[in-house]
Amino acid sequence: MAIADHLLEAVDGRRGVDAADSLCEACVILLDIDAAAISLIFDGAAAGTLGSSGAPARAYDELQFTLGEGPCLDSVASRAPVVVVDLADPDDRRWPAFGPALLAQNIRGVYAMPVVLAGEYVGALDLFRKHPGDLDGDCLAGAIAAAEIAGIPLLDLLDADLQAAANDPTSNAWAELNALSRVEVSQATGMLVAQLNVDPAEALVRLRAHAYATGRSATDVARDILDRRLTLDAD
């Protein structure tokens, strides 16, 4: 079974922080790394850790927000992966405070993949490793897949009511990723931004919550919005 399938399995039937933690734990098992965390940035200011593979990962991850520099911040700013193959390399001065702090915890390699929600770069999957070096091809593919999957628990987190999703043991991350990647869903998200005067992430959360509450697919709800058969109420 491919790494991506194992990663999807790790979040199936789980929601929110629980799914994010499980995804990070699966990264440690499946990829050649020692700790994983998913961290988020909203409006460049409020920031924090959504999920982690354990207490050490959470500590490494939170350190970057205390120090104001690190892989998640760089990855969101550049809208690209960030890779530091060896923090001990004297020529690498990317993070003058965060680098030495992680070295003191015996971490040498740091790899971050951006997490994207409704087209916005909102955070990163941060991977930490005790030995230096590049991630090999399979690990890299797995890390990118995990960052893609991380969008789902993030949507849960933003959906304050969680509606029917809260106790949905059949939730299937694969089906959800496919539905949310469809053009109708993105177009309807844009329509909701104009109708409700909210940002795209909030609009997508509202569309998805409506789909859950009415037991329909996100695509069907999106088509109804596009054809003006359905309008969602402003809060």
Partner 1 sequence: MTDTPRETQVLGAVVSLVDTLLVDFDVVDLLTELTEQCVELLDTAAAGFLLADPMQKLRLLAATSERARELELFQLQADEGPCVECYSTGQPISVANLAAERDRWPHFVSAAVEAGFASVHAVPMRAAGVVLGALGLFGSRPGELNTADLLVAQTLAHIACVAILQERAPTPATVMPQLRSALTSRVVVEQAKGYLRESLDVSVDDAFQLLRTYARTHHRHLTEVARRLMTEPASRPDILAAISELAYG
- Of 57, 84, 110, 118, the one binding partner 1 by CB under 8 A: 118
- Of 6, 9, 12, 195, the one binding partner 1 by CB under 8 A: 195
User: What residue ranges in 86-210 does DSSP mark as E strands?
Assistant: 109-117, 120-129
- Of 48, 183, 213, 216, the one binding partner 1 by CB under 8 A: 183
Segments in the chain forming alpha helices (H): 3-11, 16-30, 55-67, 71-78, 98-103, 137-149, 151-158, 173-180, 183-196, 200-214, 218-226
Q: How much helix, strand and coil, in percent to the nearest 5, is found in the chain?
A: 50, 15, 30
Q: Which residues is 46 bridged to in the sheet?
A: 42
Contact between 81 and partner 1 by CB under 8 A: the answer reads yes
The residue range among 58-66, 125-133, 176-184, 210-218 that interacts with partner 1, by the rule CB under 8 A, is 176-184
Here the tokens at position 187 are 């177009």
- Of 145, 152, 154, 155, the one binding partner 1 by CB under 8 A: 145
Q: Which positions lie near partner 1, rule CB under 8 A?
A: 2, 4, 8, 79-81, 113, 116, 118-121, 134-135, 137, 140-141, 144-145, 147-148, 174, 177-178, 181-184, 186-195, 197, 199-200, 226
